Structure 1
Amino acid sequence: MQRIAVDVGNTGTKYGIFEGNDLIKQGYFQGVENIPVEITNHTFEHAIVASVSADTAAYTSRLSVTGNIVTLSEQTALPVLNKYKTPQTLGVDRIAAAVGAYYFFPGRNCLVFDAGTAITHEFITSDGSYMGGGIALGLRMKLKALHTFTQRLPLVDQIPDNFPVTGQTTQESILSGVLAGTVAELNGFIQLYSEKAPDLVVILCGGDAGFFESKLKGRIFVIPELVLIGLHRILTYNV
């Protein structure tokens, strides 16, 4: 029987349907009123719902499940050791990404970048300890902030794959500062963590993972469905 993982984010909701350990279908929707009928018209064995924004009850109430529905929180048992000092404030997507990384690369030190609305990074040690990480503005948040909090800077709403390091117009200068600056930021973190963990595995997920894939130094693993797989591993650990 199939299981479902639901990840309610800041701008939309992702879901993954699993059969055994295999992710057989995934999708995206915005707003609880737009849950696809393939979810609401289907009965699942177990489910897990994680949210960084909305009340999970609005989503769990729409699911038909014969077994358990796990609502991910700081009380949920995890297959990694959570060493975050304030687990009650930890974003559920962050710990799910960490669990997903440890599932794919057990026994390795892992650095995960989730490049979405915000850009987060997570560090998981080779013994399965989640140590924490960082939270920063995502690319579009940076572009919007420059426009919103200044008088004359235009809103740049396109993120080209190629951009000048030395901007010769205001728009090019914004792209250089935001895009090249953020690439340098992530490369800087890779360098810092590589110094403390020489065998480091670097993983990218999130909506802007494709933008960063070819721009970061060293070997990078892009796993777009990392959070969903991490959620499913947590679900499996709890049922």
Structure 2
Amino acid sequence: MLAMRVLTLDVGNSSVDVCFFDGELRYVGKFAHRELPRLEASKVLVSSVKPSYEPYLKDLYPHAELLRPEDVPLETSGIDKGKVGIDRLLNLYGALRLYSKDIILVSFGTALVVDLAVDGVYMGGFITLGLLSSLKCLHERAELLPELSLEKVEALIGTDTRSAMLGGLFAQTSSYIAYCKERWERHFKKELQLLLTGGDGRLFENMGLYDPLLIHRSMLNLAGFL
């Protein structure tokens, strides 16, 4: 008997990340919204933060299951889950189920999201500009600053435009994450596991654990496949 083939789609603001699971999780690729292929699957699970894309997605995959906040069994400290992005909820659910009950989760995407759970309870978090979004903003708002590709530059001090922009961005992001961790550990008097996810998280994986496919594992775990 053939194993069930489950497709997981992470629909972000800029693109769609695709995985499939047939006993083993495999990364298919990243696609522009309108270039998502029709792939054969027994079941399709979707996390989407782009409501305007959902009618197109349902045409492509009529039986897709679009996960909603109420589908995620996550205890919060009084936070209304209906007002939190499904990607944040799923990532936190997976982090708690697969890693630790005391955890800081940093998600790298269009936005940079830092979320906290203590004793298995979601406490809240912060949302700031993502790395590529920050570079794009600088380029668009400052006429003399170039458009740069994202790469890791650990410069003690910038000596040209490239090292000043990329080195500054890396220093800013790593310092921000370290600040949140130190502040929350002091406040809650707990050692907190640091978990990174999202493609750009690879640049900071020396700071903690890195799971680029966390949201896909989360969807599969929620559906009972992992």
**Smaller-chain TM-score range?**
0.7 to 0.9
- Superposed, 1:55-94 pairs within 5 Å as 55-63=53-61, 65=63, 69-74=64-69, 76-83=70-77, 85-94=79-88
Q: For each residue in 1:90-143, what CA deviation from the matched residue of structure 2 results, as whole angstroms up to 9, or x when unmatched?
A: 11111111011012125x3011111122111111223x3222211111112112
Q: Structure 1-normalised TM-score?
A: 0.81
Distance in 2 between residues matched to 1:83 and 1:71, nearest whole Å: 25
- Superposed, 1:205-224 pairs within 5 Å as 205-214=197-206, 216=207, 220-224=208-212
How many angstroms does 1:156 deviate by? 4.2
Q: Which gives a bigger RCO, structure 1 or 2 (Cα 8 Å, sep 6+)?
A: 1
Assess, with a 3 A threshold, how the Cα gap between structure 1 residues 35 and 160 changes in structure 2: closer, same or farther: closer
Assess, with a 3 A threshold, how the Cα gap between structure 1 residues 200 and 163 changes in structure 2: closer, same or farther: closer
Question: Do residues 177 (structure 1) and 172 (structure 2) align?
Answer: no
Identity of aligned residues (%): 24
- Structure in which a larger fraction of residues adopt helix: 2
Residue in structure 1 matched with residue 29 of structure 2 by the alignment: 27
Which structure 2 residue ranges, 5 or more long, are not aligned? none
Question: Do residues 52 (structure 1) and 49 (structure 2) align?
Answer: yes
- Superposed, 1:115-130 pairs within 5 Å as 115-126=108-119, 128-130=120-122
Q: Structure 2-normalised TM-score?
A: 0.85
Q: Secondary structure at the match of 2:116?
A: strand
Q: Secondary structure at the match of 1:163?
A: coil
- Report the AA paired with residue 51 of structure 1: S
Contact 2:11 / 2:48 at 8 angstroms: preserved in 1? yes
RMSD: 2.3
Question: Do residues 114 (structure 1) and 90 (structure 2) align?
Answer: no
- Superposed, 1:195-214 pairs within 5 Å as 195=186, 196-214=188-206
Runs of 4+ in 1 over 6 A off after TM superposition: none
Residue in structure 2 matched with residue 140 of structure 1 by the alignment: 132
Contact 1:205 / 1:225 at 8 angstroms: preserved in 2? yes
How many angstroms does 1:14 deviate by? 1.1
Distance in 1 between residues matched to 2:166 and 2:200, nearest whole Å: 15
Residue in structure 2 matched with residue 3 of structure 1 by the alignment: 6
